[in-house]
Amino acid sequence: MRILLVEDELDMASWLVRALTQSGFVADHAPDARTAEAFMDGTEYDAIVLDLQLPDKHGMSVLADMRDADNRTPVLILTAQGALQDRVRGLNLGADDFLTKPFEVAELEARLAALVRRSRGRQHPRMQCASLSYDGESHAFSLRGTLLPLTPREQAALTALLMRTGAPVSKSNLFGKVFTNDSTAGPDAIEVVLHRLRRKLEGSDVRIVTVRGLGYMLESTGDAVVDADVSNAR
């Protein structure tokens, strides 16, 4: 589970990142809104922990900008004791939960896990691109009605691509989905996974294309290639 912690108090942030990591989370830390927005542009998170008092932008503005950009990542806001107005405003802007300072890490972890469960429960259990389909209940892919055997990394990559069929997924985003718990994987390791996936999709009506400068995209071979910078290089 990948979490973005947006918190300007460095001692507190260091403590939280260390505690979350020890509990099995992958936690990125942004000390200000600008860094947080850069992280969100390049990485897809399972949840975001957002402090309101940031040095360059109020946390409510960060939340509002996220929702305006149709970023539906679950957001847990850290609030001061008795900050009822913050809670009301946050709910109106699309916050998913609140946690009042000071708090116990165990409660934060439980709330994050609950947020992610609810978010995943809202996702459609079935996805499809041409003859490639995914059953969210069995977590299985099939191609032309036949079960498609995939390794866990191949499955993670194909799921991320299928969720954004017809739109590029950045290399860093895809890498984060596939190698979340592997600190030894090099930046080009994702190419090996995609090469194997392309081999398994050969001869079908679905392909993975490289969109130069943007990342990778899953599309039906009946779809038009978006521009001259799209290639199907293996």
Q: Are residues 141 and 66 in the same domain?
A: no
Q: Tens digit of pLDDT for each residue in 149-161?
A: 999 889 889 988 9
Instruction: Pick the last residue of a domain from 66, 101, 122.
Output: 122
Q: Which helix (H) or strand (E) holds 4?
A: strand 2-6
Q: Which helix (H) or strand (E) holds 215?
A: strand 215-220
Q: How many domains does the chain have?
A: 2
For residue 179, what pLDDT is reported? 82
Instruction: Pick the last residue of a domain from 96, 122, 148.
Output: 122
Query: With a cut of 70, which residues of the chain have pLDDT below it?
Result: 81-82, 120-125, 137, 180-183, 223-234
Q: Are residues 55 and 8 in the same domain?
A: yes
Domain that holds residue 94: 2-122
Q: Tens digit of pLDDT for each residue in 92-140?
A: 899 999 998 888 888 999 899 888 877 766 555 678 999 999 887 677 8
Across 32-67, b (16+ Cβ under 10 Å) vs e yields: ebebbbebbeebbbbbbbbbbebeeeebbebbbebe
DSSP letter for each residue of 122-162: HS-SEEEETTEEEETTTTEEEETTEE----HHHHHHHHHHH
Cα 29 to Cα 14: distance, rounded to the nearest angstrom: 8
CA dihedral sign, ordered 82, 83, 88, 92: negative
